[in-house]
Amino acid sequence: MTDSVLDRLKTALAERYRVEREIGAGGMAAVFRGWAETSPNRVA
């Protein structure tokens, strides 16, 4: 079974960001909501 894109992002970015969920997709891209581990800022 293959990992989902979200699972791979969580693993790859775990030291810097907490990726929560996909917030949109279209064409050739997807946008995910997350938090920067070093500040309280939301990131996409």
Domain boundaries, the chain: 5-43
d(C-alpha 27, C-alpha 40), whole Å: 30
How many alpha carbons lie under 13 Å from residue 25 in its C-beta half-sphere?
7
The residue length of the chain stands at: 44
Q: Tell me what pLDDT residue 1 has.
A: 44
Q: What's residue 43's pLDDT?
A: 86
pTM of the full structure = 0.74
pLDDT, tens only, 1-25: 457 989 999 999 999 999 999 999 9
Q: How far is CA 43 from the centre of its chain?
A: 9
- Residue 38 has what pLDDT? 87
pLDDT above 60 for 40: yes
Choice between 41 and 17, residue whose per-residue pLDDT is larger: 17
